[in-house]
Chains A and B, each alone.
Chain A
Amino acid sequence: MADRSFEVSRLPGFAFTAVTVFLALYLPIFTLVFFSFNAGSVLSVWQGWSLRWYVEAWQNDVVKGAAMRSLLIAASASAIATTLATMAAIGTTRRRRFRGQTAIYAFINQPLMVPEIVTAVALLIFFGVIKSWTGYQGLGYLILAHSAFCVPFAYLPIRARLEGMDLSLETAAADLYASPWQAFRHVTLPLLAPGIAAGAMLAFVISLDDVVITEFVKSAGQDTLPTYMLGQLRRTLTPEVNAISTALLVLTVLLLTAFFLVNRKKD
């Protein structure tokens, strides 16, 4: 406390509360990660370090299947969502304002406003009907559902990047004899790439994390990692769930870090 000058932005108890909040936020997560390395099979009784539960999870065919399914769905959904979101973002930004632009914007962001349980129920009914009509039971439904709710998450960073881009660059390209497609291919797309990467990463994370909609849409035997874990929570838990959680957590943190690095590079 060398500096006794009056600091205007200090408010009593705020710093203490904040630090406590951060501790409270991370303590459970660290505990979870910590016990994933437990040698014993009871959750909160520490019996020494071991990778046993990672090995068990890896050797568990159900877990492996769920993990593969999660990754497959997340990869497909984020690819689809990012492609469509990129097109929509270009459609709603790189031109003079047009009729219906606001409506498109609202419609694209609509999944962010509807409670997940409501969408889940809606898809349960709708896909149920389609399933009984067509007899198709595959992963397509999950991919379709995930693609849809990932669209706004991919759309927002891409649109933000586009809005920060000088429109006169495309004008200059057109002036230099580029057709609209050439202007897109040689100017817009390369400059937009970081935004697209960011959008794809967010979409991937969001898809990977989804529980509710997946739980309602999946057919028998289509568990993803989160729905598998939700099922496990009803039984006697072993640190296997901690191990799976930790793996997912690490993947998320890696993707987020990449997202921040990609986004930072632009300024």
Chain B
Amino acid sequence: MIKITGTAGPILSVNAAIMARDVTKAFGQGETALKALDNVSCEIRTGEFFTLLGPSGCGKTTLLRLIAGFEMPTAGQILIDGQDVTGQPPNRRAVNTVFQSYALFPHLSVAENVGFGLKMQGRPRAEIAATVREMLALVKLEALAGRRTGQLSGGQQQRVALARALAPRPKVLLLDEPLSALDLKLRKEMQVELKRLQTETGITFVFVTHDQEEALTMSDRIAVMSAGKIQQIGVPREIYTAPVNRFVADFIGETNFIPATAVPGGAKLADGTVLPAEGEGSLLIIRPEQLRLLPAAADGALPATVESVVYFGTDTHVHLALEDGTKLTARVPSPADGHSGHAPGQRIGLGFAPGAARLIRE
């Protein structure tokens, strides 16, 4: 049998809470097998808020379940706090999970739910009671300690699930789309709440979401995943401003793509214009808010034609076409009276904010 080999894992660093080394997970066997994770390596640092971001089916849950121990990897290793835990059952791993469905025990009270992990570990009663009180205070649910979980609202259940997972003081807390079942307002509240909990407890959070805004606002670092692979790992600003490929650029925010070739000092477009741009590759990207709409004759501007104008309230989207037919979208703040002053068919010049354009690989 051929062993699946991959690139060497990242250098082991002292402060890695979690390390995944060349992890592959296949469901099914033989030719029909589906690789939910394909040779994934990453390192999650102690104390950070780490987010797995990607479209549905890209393998986020699978990676989380491998870390928790609900699934075993087809190849590769999982390390928690420097210890190889591959093959260990979940009840021996010092990580806890907040489930997407919460998975609260319906036959137990709120307090019993929160104390469950400690009880299973065989901690003394007094300690359990104290920790439960502390945890309920942390999530502001002291008043509901005796309730059955079935009588709680969605937001309250969410807090119980959090308290329950935090109570045994895990090294890492795994959260699988914990906010997706909440309505928008509650969701915003819980985002703040989660961030606060993470700062207060200092526990490493691994957070799964497919909401890019959530990822950008909450995370210390983000791993963008697609089709079972990690595409890019970085701090939010880096992911947004310097995506490494088309997938990341397209998935995070909106982007204009212009075919180009790298030349010294910038990128050459099809019509020969050379724009200053960093990076390398054959695709020039520029965010819609970085485009400037100038008069047609403006100095150094790229000639373009307005195709349509869509009013969005705070800003207005202007859809444009370059001479060679490349379509672009510009986002400009809407003026006070709402009229942007642009109309379909109008010829204009396109300007670029300095450093806004970037070359990336396909």
Contacts and interface: CB of A to CB of B under 8 A. Distances in A.
Asked if chains A and B are in direct contact (CB within 8 A), the reply is yes
Interface string A157-195: 000000000101101111111110010001100110000
Contacts of A168: 99, 101, 103
Contacts of B116: 173, 176, 178, 186
Q: Interface range on chain B: under 10, 10 to 19, 20 to 34, or 35 or more?
A: 20 to 34
Interface in A54-105: none
Contacts of B165: 175-176
B105 A178 contact: no
24 contacts: A168-B103, A171-B70, A171-B99, A171-B103, A172-B99, A172-B105, A173-B120, A174-B69, A174-B89, A174-B90, A176-B91, A176-B164, A177-B91, A177-B92, A177-B117, A177-B120, A177-B121, A177-B168, A179-B120, A186-B116, A187-B105, A190-B107, A191-B106, A191-B107
A176 B120 contact: yes
Contacts of A187: 105, 107
Contacts of A177: 91-92, 117, 120-121, 168
B209 interface: no
Contacts of A191: 106-107
Contacts of A179: 91, 120
A191 B107 CA distance: 7
Contacts of A175: 68, 70, 90-91, 95-97, 165
Given A171-B70, A172-B104, A176-B164, 15 more contacts: A166-B101, A168-B101, A169-B103, A172-B97, A174-B90, A175-B68, A175-B90, A176-B96, A176-B120, A177-B91, A177-B168, A179-B91, A182-B120, A186-B116, A191-B107
Contacts of B101: 166, 168
Nearest to B94: A177
Interface in B75-113: 89-92, 95-97, 99, 101, 103-107
Nearest to B71: A96
A172 B248 CA distance: 33
Pick the 9 closest A-B CB pairs, nearest first.
A176-B117, A172-B103, A168-B103, A177-B120, A174-B90, A178-B120, A190-B107, A175-B97, A177-B91
Which of B89, B91, B106, B107 lies at the interface centre, i.e. has the most chain A CB atoms within 10 A of its CB?
B91
A190 B148 CA distance: 14
Given A166-B101, A182-B120, A174 B91 contact: yes
A172 B106 CA distance: 12
Nearest to A178: B120
A169 B99 CA distance: 10
A115 B231 CA distance: 63
Interface string A183-211: 00011001100000000000000000000
Interface in B97-152: 97, 99, 101, 103-107, 116-117, 119-121
Contacts of B105: 169, 172-173, 187
A120 to B, nearest CB: 42
Contacts of A182: 120
A148 B92 CA distance: 40
A61 B90 CA distance: 60
Contacts of A174: 69-70, 89-91
A121 B68 CA distance: 55
A172 B105 CA distance: 9
A245 to B, nearest CB: 40
Nearest to A189: B107
A20 B99 CA distance: 54
Contacts of A176: 91, 96, 116-117, 120, 164-165, 168
A187 B90 CA distance: 16
A194 B21 CA distance: 45
A166 B99 CA distance: 12
Contacts of B89: 174
Nearest to B164: A176
Given A172-B97, A173-B116, A178 B91 contact: yes
B94 to A, nearest CB: 9
A60 to B, nearest CB: 47
Contacts of A178: 91, 116, 120
A205 B105 CA distance: 32
